[in-house]
Amino acid sequence: MTGISFDPFHSVFKYNQWVGNMSAFYALLFTVAFSIMVLGLLYKIIQYSLVPAPLKIPVTPAPLTKSGVVFRLLKEAVLFAALFRSNKWTWLFGWMFHMSLFIVLANHLRFFIKDVPLTLVLLQNVGEYAAFTMFIGLAGLLVRRLYVARVKYISAPSDYLWLVLLMFIGFTGIVMRFILHTDIIAVKEFSLGLLSFNWQALPLDFPLMVHLLLVAILMILLPFSKLLHIPGLFFAPTRNQVDNPREKRHIASWAADMDSEKNKMQP
C-alpha cells in the first residue's frame, strides 16, 4: 500500500502562487473598473452639457438670480429639499442612505492616502458605523419598492438589483469590520500599490473578495445606469434655470441659428 506524502514547501508555493494570481486579477479588475467609471462619467457629463434646453421650465417657486440657483442646487444635492416636500418617508431613507454613503466613501480615503490627515482619523469613529445606517436606508427603499403599489408598478428589475447590490456591499463591509476581521494594513498597501501601478498582495479573505468584486461591478456599471442622477441633478433644466422669462428671452443655440437664417432670407 503506497503512503500519501505531504510536501509543505510545495503547498506553500502553490498557495503563494494563488495569492499572487488573485491579487493580480483584482488589481487589473480595479484598474479597468476605475477607468471605465471615470471615462464613462466624463462622457455622460459632456453629453449632458451639450443637450439643449429650448424651454424656460424651472419648477417654481424658483430663484431669480444665478446665486440663488447655486444655492438651490446645493440644497437639493445635500438636503433633498424637493423630496422632503414630496414624501417624508422616502426622504428619510434616501437621505440616510446617501449621507451614510458619503461618510463611508470619505472614510475609505484613508486606504489611498499614505499619511492620513486628522480629519479622516476623527471621521473613522463615525464612518465605521455609517455602514449600518446605509444598510437601513437601503432596506427602507427596498421595502418601499416592494410594498408601495404605485412605486412597485413602475419598478424595473434593475431597480431591485441596484438596491440589493448596494446592500450586499454594505453588509460585507460590516462583516469585515465587526465579525471576520481582515488585515487592513495589507489592504492599504494593496490600494496604494494600485495608485503607483506597484501591485501588492491582497488578503484573500472571502468577505473582502466578495466586497471588492461587488464594488468593481458597481464602478463598471455606474456610467450606464440610473445612478447617473448623481451628476444629472446639476443639468436638470427644472432646477438649474433662473426664473426670469419676462426679463430675458431664453433661446437655445440651435433655435438662435434658425432665427438668424430666417432673418437672412427675408428681403
pLDDT in tens, the chain (267 residues): 444 444 454 555 565 676 778 889 999 999 999 999 999 999 999 999 888 888 888 888 899 999 999 999 999 999 999 999 989 999 999 999 999 999 999 999 999 998 888 888 888 878 888 999 999 999 999 999 999 999 999 999 999 999 999 999 999 999 998 998 888 899 999 999 998 888 888 988 899 999 999 999 999 999 998 888 888 889 998 899 998 888 887 777 777 777 666 666 665
Q: Grid coordinates standing for 57?
A: 421650465
Residue spans per domain, the chain: 15-244
List the Cα angle 26/32/36 in 5-degree steps. Answer: 140
* Residue 69 near residue 61, CB atoms below 8 Å: no
Options 2.40.50.140, 3.10.20.30, 3.90.79.10, 1.20.950.20; CATH for 15-244 is 1.20.950.20
Q: Grid coordinates standing for 128?
A: 465605521
Per the listing, cell 437621505 goes with 95
* Residue 20 near residue 201, CB atoms below 8 Å: yes
